[in-house]
Structure 1
Amino acid sequence: MPFKSLGLDAHLVKATRDLGYTEPTPVQAEAIPAALTGRDVIATAQTGTGKTAAFLLPVLHRMINRPRGAALALVISPTRELAEQIESVCRGLSQHTPVRSVLVVGGRPMGPQDRALRAGVDIVIATPGRLMDHMQQGTVRFDRPTTLILDEADSMLDMGFLPDVRRIIARIPNREQTLLFSATMPPVIAKLASEILRNPATVQIGRRAATAVGITQAAYPVPEHLKTSLLRHMLRNTEMPSVLVFCRTKHSARRIARIVGADGFAVAELHSNRTPAQRTKAMEGFRRGEFRVMVATNIAARGLDVDHITHVISLDVPTVPEDYVHRIGRTARAGADGDAFIMVSPAEEGAFSRIERQVGQRLPRITLPDFDYSSTPPRPPSPNGRGPGPAGGSQGRRPAQPPRNAGPAKPPRPGRGTKPGFR
């Protein structure tokens, strides 16, 4: 079915051809006609299925057919990276139209955003925090009829943005249409939808929290202390053109990136300790193929839209099964195939079993025959910092003995000894 059959403006149909969109994805085929009627829409679909165009195309269509400045559309996204990609798709789809959009996110100067908002725009694509900054300064108002789009609503819940989103919604009195798109629908988001949507059309594509088609998954049982060594072994001995590695913490991501880089791989980092400029450079370089490996925290589980990622490797087992689904959804995008590997330590078997129940399958366990799984973990230092503790070679050493004929220790004289507050 071509995009033309959905009833879209000819300028938008031309843009879809220019961007290489051959036919609507299932979520686009169902959501776009419903949104074109002006109805509220709640859509749930797996990551990588084309949700961005599913909400942008009907919004752009309605903007084209209205006088400039007559209405406003607000797209709220949980992360700066995802907002940037939405704005990029919006520019591509609106290239043959007079519709203007502005990106309102943190990590960028307020001045240019302020001037663009005051000059007048049709679509505002924003993260909650920076949008609230502009609302408090009065540079953006929602006194026009407004279409509100909440993208990745479940991620906003996970990241603690829901209170801000509720405050923003309360300041949009003239809301004429609301579109809520999400990969999963936890109870809190379902409750929010029931509060803000009016008689919505419901679009459900696939099983909730299911993994995308085209992903080959496997688990690698391995002791915790050998995960980094196993990653290095896999990178050296497996054909992996473009690899996204997930770590639980930013400190782990930084350490893994340093180790992988020392092995001679072009590697980038993506976590909250990186500046906005560094994050942009890492994402753009990874997208262009300048980096073979990207090491990231869950900040990249949503909003990293790179078509050529061949492998996703999780060095930890997420405690929330949906996080695993979002992670592996970074591969096998745009109809491609991909591999998703997860390293599972004995202590993580319980959390991994919950993931298997979530995805509805038992993942194959793989043990590499040419990897040494027998290495013992390093011994922790002794309390005095002088080498291994009791399990590490101090056996047989006599404990320190007090000098002979030494009486009981005398208390320090007043005013002598450690100074107050000194450590």
Structure 2
Amino acid sequence: MFERYDWREDELLARASKDASRKLVCSYLERPQELRWGRPVEELGVRDEVKEALRRLGIRRLFLHQERALELVLRGVNTFLVSGTGTGKTEAFLIPILNDVVERPFEGVRALLMYPTKALARDQLKRVERMVAPFFGVRAVVYDGDTPRRVRKQVHASPPPILITNPDMVHVSLQVSEEFRRIVRAVRYVVLDDAHAYSGVFGAHVAYVLRRLRRFIEGEPVYIATSATIGNPREFIEGLVGREFEVVEAGSGKRGEVVHTFVKPLGRSRLMETVSLARLCQEAGLKCLIFADSHRVVEMVKTVGEKYGVSIEVHRAGLRPEERAEIEEKLRSGELLTVAATPTLELGIDVGDLD
């Protein structure tokens, strides 16, 4: 829930308001929402090996929305889980998938996990690997444009139970790779994480990719989608996938208070205002992200920052994978305080204690 916030009692915003070249139009406080708990792990309808793995990971009980999504997927129902960042959406779809693949780890690709961006897919790989590690033969592999040819050949020769990719890679691979078309035949689960990104022209493209993919899968797969909170979840996901869905909604689930402030620059450009706000955050020792909608703008933010002594790194498509990974790790560790990014960092990448 939102309520008006008195920025004069906030040290950072009070400092910002003293600059005559900007106006703080208004501030709102968003308070955290408590998530409801579901049943203990021991009472879930999954294999004992999966229960034991969850306990070893420190998971003793699921949230109610995770439990409801789990039950639907186990019944073979297409499921759309709508909840905020950090509410356990990944665990909600991985648990039923693991329950399936631990029984048949060498029967090819059982789950195709599709993420909107390569950066998000590779970030989520770490979480997936943490959950599949206890199970013999269960592997998760990223298959995208940055995957070396050697690794792709290994995937074709010995398909992992869980393949992590993105819609554009599926689009290209269905056209040019007979080996890819072969390994997706056994797919039982198609996961669309952060599905709210699939809107507009990109969404239309993904909708057609999903329909083409379905032609190569033997049998009808179970579709699992996750999303941040949106206003029309059923209409959105059924239009995207072309199948009926059950919707599970959980709310935002934010764990801390969030202050939303609208700032109007008066005596300088928006670009200079952005750099000025970044300087304020850095002086207070706060990690922050700056989002822009193009490569050109984020590079301009970095250039202007350098000119005025504000250290800003750029995260965008077109950088080498190792460069993006280095920036993410520096931000996560606190070595780097400010990153200017295109939507490559917008979709739920874990950057730790972001301020």
- TM superposition score category, shorter chain reference: 0.7 to 0.9
Moved over 6 A (4+): none
Give the Cα separation in 1 of the matches to 2:310 and 2:68: 43
Letter in 2 for 1:151: D
- Give the letter aligned to residue 196 of structure 1: R
Tell me how far 1:19 sits from its aligned partner.
4.4
SS of residue paired to 1:306:
coil
CA distance in 1, matches of 2:267, 2:211: 41
Letter of the 1:153 counterpart: A
Match of 1:272 in 2: 317
Aligned counterpart in structure 2 of residue 190 of structure 1, from 208, 214, 238: 238
What is the deviation of 1:87? 2.0
Matched, 1:60 2:78: no
d(CA) in 2 for partners of 1:281 and 1:261?
A: 19
Shift of 1:20: 4.8
Deviations 1:110-148 (A, max 9, x none): 331221232121111111222344333122223325222
Asked whether 1:227 is paired with 2:270, we answer: yes
Amino acid paired to 2:335: E
Aligned equivalents of 2:253, 2:105: Cα separation in 1: 42
* Alignment pair present for 1:177 and 2:217: no
Q: In structure 1, what is the Cα distance between the partners aligned to 2:79 and 2:292?
A: 35
Structure 1 residues 140-179: aligned runs within 5 Å: 140=180, 141=182, 142-144=184-186, 146-158=188-200, 159-160=202-203, 161-162=205-206, 163-179=208-224
| Number of the residue aligned with 1:298 | 343
- Cα displacement (A) at 1:235: 3.7
Q: Return closer, same or farther for 1:59/1:267 CA change in 2, 3 Å cut-off.
A: same
Q: Give the counterpart letter for 2:127 in structure 1.
A: V
Greater share of residues in helix: 2
Q: C-alpha separation between the residues in 1 aligned to 2:249 and 2:227?
A: 10
Q: Is the 8 A contact 1:147 1:175 kept in 2?
A: no
Say whether the 8 Å CA contact 1:27–1:50 is kept in structure 2.
Answer: no
TM-score norm. by structure 2 comes to 0.75
Cα deviation, residue 263, structure 1: 4.7
Residue 218 (1) aligns with residue 261 (2)? yes
Cα RMSD of the aligned pairs, angstroms, is 2.8
* Alignment partner, residue 113 of structure 1: 152
The amino acid that maps onto 2:354 is: I
What is the distance in 2 between the residues matched to 1:188 and 1:38? 20
**Is 2:86–2:253's contact at 8 Å kept on the other side of the alignment?**
no
1:93 shift after superposition: 0.3
- Alpha-carbon contact 1:103-1:113 (below 8 Å) kept: no
SS at match of 1:196: coil
Q: Does 1:134 align with 2:181?
A: no
Q: Does 1:89 align with 2:132?
A: no
- TM, length-normalised to structure 1: 0.64
Whether the 8 Å CA contact 1:106–1:127 is kept in 2: the answer is no
Select between 280-289 and 2-11 the one with higher mean Cα deviation: 2-11
Could you tell me how far 1:171 is from its partner in structure 2? 2.2
Q: What is the distance in 1 between the residues matched to 2:81 and 2:71?
A: 13
Name the CA distance, whole Å, in 1 between partners of 2:108 and 2:163: 14
Larger Rg: 1
Q: Tell me the alpha carbon deviations over residues 276-327 of structure 1, each in whole angstroms, 9 at most, x when there is no partner.
A: 33222222222232211111122221142222111xxxxxxxxxxxxxxxxx
Task: Pick closer, same or farther for the CA change 1:95–1:219 going to 2, 3 Å.
Answer: same
- 1:14 Cα deviation after fit: 4.5
Displacement after TM superposition at 1:77 (Å): 1.5
Residue 5 and residue 49 in structure 1: after superposition, are their counterparts in 2 closer, same or farther (change >3 A)?
A: same
Structure with more strand by fraction: 2
Percent identity over the alignment is: 22
Offset of residue 22 of structure 1: 5.7
Q: Distance in 1 between matches of 2:196 and 2:332?
A: 25
Alpha-carbon spacing, 1:9–1:289, altered in 2? closer, same or farther (3 Å): farther
Q: Distance in 2 between matches of 1:33 and 1:130?
A: 30
Say yes or no: does 1:282 pair with 2:327: yes
Q: Displacement, 1:13?
A: 3.9
- Cα distance, 1:203 vs structure 2: 0.7
For 2:145 and 2:332, locate their aligned partners in 1 and report how far apart those are by CA, in whole Å. Answer: 22
1:150·1:180 contact (CA, 8 Å) conserved in 2?
Answer: yes
Gaps of 5+ in 2: 1-38
Higher relative contact order (CA 8 A, sep 6+): 2
Task: Give the distance between the partners of 1:227 and 1:20, measured in 2 at CA.
Answer: 46
